[in-house]
Amino acid sequence: MGHIIIHQDRIKDAEAIKAFCPFNALDYVNEYLEINAACKMCKLCVKKGPDGVFEWCEDETEGVDKAKWQGVAVYVDHLEGAIHPVTLELIGKARELAAKIGHEVHAVFMGSGIRHAAEELLHYGVDHVHVYDDPALKHFRIEPYTAVFEDFITRIQPSIVLVGGTTVGRSLAPRTAARFRTGLTADCTFLDVQESTDLDQIRPAFGGNIMAHIFTPHHRPQFATVRYRIFSAPERSETATGTLTERTVPADRLKSGIEVLEVRVKEVTAGLEDAEVIIVAGRGVKKASDLAMIHALAARLNAKVAGTRPVIEAGWVDARKQIGLSGRTVKPRLIITCGVSGAIQFVAGMNNADCIIAINTDPKATIFNVAHYGIVGDLYEVLPALVACLAPAAEVLEPAFA
Amino acid sequence: MKIVVCIKQVPGTSEVEVDEQTGVLKRDGVDSKLNPYDLYALETALRIKQGNGARITAISMGPPQAEQVLREAYMMGVDEAVLLTDRKFAGADVLATAYALSQGIRKGGMPDLIICGKMTTDGDTAQVGPEMAEFLGVPHVANVLRIVELGENAITVEMDMASTVEIARVSYPCLITVEKGICQPRLPSFRLKLATKDRAIPHLSLQDLEDTNPKHYGLDGSPTQVKRIFPPEVNAGHELWTGPGPELAARIAERLIHLKFV
């Protein structure tokens, strides 16, 4: 790959240059400026640093033969055969990427008693579905699942592997990527592909305060995880296309040091991820009883109520209804935020909504940067009036319309 | 029982910005702290030690300044600390970081249990734990909510699986990553601070590891590369409405009807 050379003789301001690195990776060791282990190789010093001090030196690298790695693969995330919708979203993206580079789309489906469910995938434009149906795969256990994933990748040699950013995906993708000594980019929010089949991956870092564009120039396959509701699922087509192949791996490779003793189904919280309309209560809501306004609006719009961190921490809204990087990512058709300032932590979990309406008293609130409709107003004035406006016809004659 | 806890020094704040003109990260220089998720990993280990007896080693990779978080681990009650630090480790992505840590762990002899926090606040990937488990060839369970039982040959844990909770028994040696709800981390103790202030923190460099091939570490060992970093997009085509509350409400209602949400 390469390394950074420091031309000591060209340093003009010895102390100031240290502060130049945002990661504190520049230090003086025996009077010489050196790069320490904190370096992220962002190369900012090379690109933007003082003239001639930092130089990038490219090393010769022997990469893989990219032509030998063909196809875009999707891991089918499911619970007992019920396919997680993130899978369909990834299939949609995989088709788009594959079309650009003339590859085929593969889906790898592992579990127990899933043969029938696998056929459904043929309605979403997958070229080849690979099914590993084995009682040993009934529960998600890391070693057998990784062994199956490894078998699939070794046989098919896909260039790109997309995995949903679910509990299973976030455990399985890194384990498998490590087995192939290849790169994995987590929680991508944007994917595109170059003619060279290099995958352009963009993901938020530092709690979403910066975006990083990442690629995997010399390794295959290229792994990426994507959270639910980042991409759109394709339409189901009536006719089934593509092939379905049943595959097996030898039993000795399905051994595990993990034994699942019990599976408890969690109490169902009507999933926030599936909501079409969401109303969010933020810090601007002063006390728990004021949530009644939010619920009244939610009832009118057939919406789910969610909260930002302060509201969740106050215990006013169920913790499973937190939106943001430390909560859920949502992509509803409509989201109305009430008294939410728009911390990037929060925004990263909802800015893919089709329509964002934000109500906040502070015209400089950062939420207005992402809102399609920014309402500068007090939620205590706007919400009751809005509920009245949306009330059934007979009650509509409120002063609000006058 | 021998436990290793992996910890990391992260920036004190995630409030970083990118200067749009220059593409340079704007960040306050020295402020850094222990990754908050790691506190839960440390606390989990310390409770196992209290209940069953264990020897706990905290391991970290980073610049020499990262000693600070290992000091903090001492102040919580960890027995030993190790810092992996070498210029050759610089620019490591998930794979190279996980590999270096796994090598550092092997150096001290395979532990029974490795505990990691759920993720870090600067990378947000939650991938280093599972990748380390692969390099160490041990089973792993991510998102552990609770330790049910600590057995002779295996640990029984509750793992969070989105719509279910699974109770699983995992044979040693193994790796778990713990959720932040698992326990309430203790505060660093002043008594331990005094007691451990002279305790050494050994450094491991590339030469000390079993695999000394520099191509497996740092930038050279990292399949992924950062092409560029940039500020998140801001919405250019947005409308800002001002006026009296009732009037705003009427406009919103009109728009919701127009957009067929009502």
More confident residue, A137 or A4: A137
Cβ–Cβ gap A206/B227 under 8 Å = no
Q: Domain A66-254 belongs to what architecture?
A: 3-Layer(aba) Sandwich (3.40)
- CA dist A357 → A295, A297, A370, B134, B243 (Å): 16, 13, 9, 45, 16
Q: How many CA atoms lie within 13 A of A66 on its CB side?
A: 16
Cβ–Cβ gap B86/A37 under 8 Å = yes
| Average predicted confidence (pLDDT) for chain A | 90
> Region A377-402: what's the mean pLDDT?
70
- The segment(s) of chain A belonging to CATH 3.40.50.620 are 66-254
Strands (E), B7-112: 9-11, 17-18, 25-26, 32-34, 55-61, 80-84
- The segment(s) of chain A belonging to CATH 3.40.50.1220 are 272-401
Q: Is the pLDDT of residue A270 over 70?
A: no
Name every chain A residue with its beta carbon within 8 A of the beta carbon of B141: 142, 258
Name every chain A residue with its beta carbon within 8 A of the beta carbon of B91: 39-41
Name every chain A residue with its beta carbon within 8 A of the beta carbon of B94: 174, 183-184, 186
Q: Largest alpha-carbon pair distance within chain A?
A: 83
Distance from CA of B188 to the nearest CA of A (A): 24
Q: Domain A2-58 belongs to what architecture?
A: 2-Layer Sandwich (3.30)
Cβ–Cβ gap A40/B163 under 8 Å = no
Distance between CA atoms of residues A301 and A390, nearest Å:
9
Cβ–Cβ gap A204/B61 under 8 Å = no
Residue in B11, B9, B4 with CA at minimum distance from that of residue B48:
B4
Q: Which of A36-45, A180-189, A308-317, B37-46 has the lowest mean pLDDT?
A: A36-45
Decide: residue B16, CB within 10 A, 0-12 exposed, 13-18 middle, 19+ buried.
buried
- The segment(s) of chain A belonging to CATH 3.30.70 are 2-58
Q: Domain A272-401 belongs to what architecture?
A: 3-Layer(aba) Sandwich (3.40)
Q: pLDDT at position B106, please?
A: 97
Phi and psi at residue B124, to the nearest 5°: 60, 25
Instruction: Name the amino acid, one letter, at B162.
Output: A
List CB contacts of A336: < 8 A, sequence separation 6 or more.
Answer: A277, A278, A279, A280, A297, A301, A303, A357, A358, A359
Angle, helix B36-52 to helix B67-76, in steps of 10 degrees? 40
Share of chain A above pLDDT 70, in %: 95
pLDDT string in tens for chain B (262-residue length): 999 999 999 887 666 666 665 555 665 555 789 999 999 999 999 999 999 999 999 999 998 989 999 999 999 999 999 999 998 998 889 999 999 999 999 999 999 999 999 998 887 789 999 999 999 999 999 999 999 999 999 999 999 887 889 999 999 999 999 998 899 999 999 999 999 999 999 999 999 999 999 999 998 899 998 888 888 776 556 788 999 999 999 999 999 988 878 7
Distance from CA of A358 to the nearest CA of B (A): 9
DSSP B184-212: -PPPPPHHHHHHHTT----EE-GGGSS--
Q: Is the pLDDT of residue A291 over 90?
A: yes
Nearest CA in chain A to B144: A167
- CA dist B37 → A174, A243, B146, B160 (Å): 19, 44, 15, 16
Greatest mean pLDDT range, A9-18, A54-63, B15-24, B184-193: B184-193
Domains and their CATH numbers in chain B:
2-221 (3.40.50.620)
- CA dist A85 → A31, A166, B233 (Å): 57, 11, 27
SS3 A55: strand
Cβ–Cβ gap A390/B262 under 8 Å = yes
Name every chain B residue with its beta carbon within 8 A of the beta carbon of A335: none
Please give the structure tokens belonging to residue A6.
Answer: 């420091």
User: Given A178, A185, A268, which is nearest B224 (Cβ)?
Assistant: A185
User: Given A141, A210, A218, which is nearest B231 (Cβ)?
Assistant: A210
Q: pLDDT at position B20, please?
A: 61
Distance between CA atoms of residues A338 and A283, nearest Å:
8
Q: pLDDT at position B250, please?
A: 92
Distance from CA of B46 to the nearest CA of A (A): 24
Cβ–Cβ gap A374/B23 under 8 Å = no
Nearest CA in chain A to B143: A167
Q: Which of A136-150, A250-264, B10-24 has the lowest mean pLDDT?
A: B10-24
Q: pLDDT at position A272, please?
A: 84
Name every chain A residue with its beta carbon within 8 A of the beta carbon of B241: 373-377
Contact B85, B69 (CB under 8 A): no
ipTM of this predicted complex?
A: 0.89
User: Given A1, A184, A264, which is nearest B127 (Cβ)?
Assistant: A184
Q: Which runs of consecutive H residues, i.e. helices, occur in A302-392?
A: 309-313, 344-347, 367-370, 379-389
Q: Which of A22-31, A74-83, A222-231, B201-210 has the lowest mean pLDDT?
A: A22-31
Q: pLDDT at position B236, please?
A: 56
User: A342-362: string of b/e by CB count within 10 Å (b at 16+)?
Assistant: bbbbbbbbbbbbebbbbbbee
Name every chain B residue with its beta carbon within 8 A of the beta carbon of A300: 262
Please give the structure tokens belonging to residue B55.
Answer: 């020897």
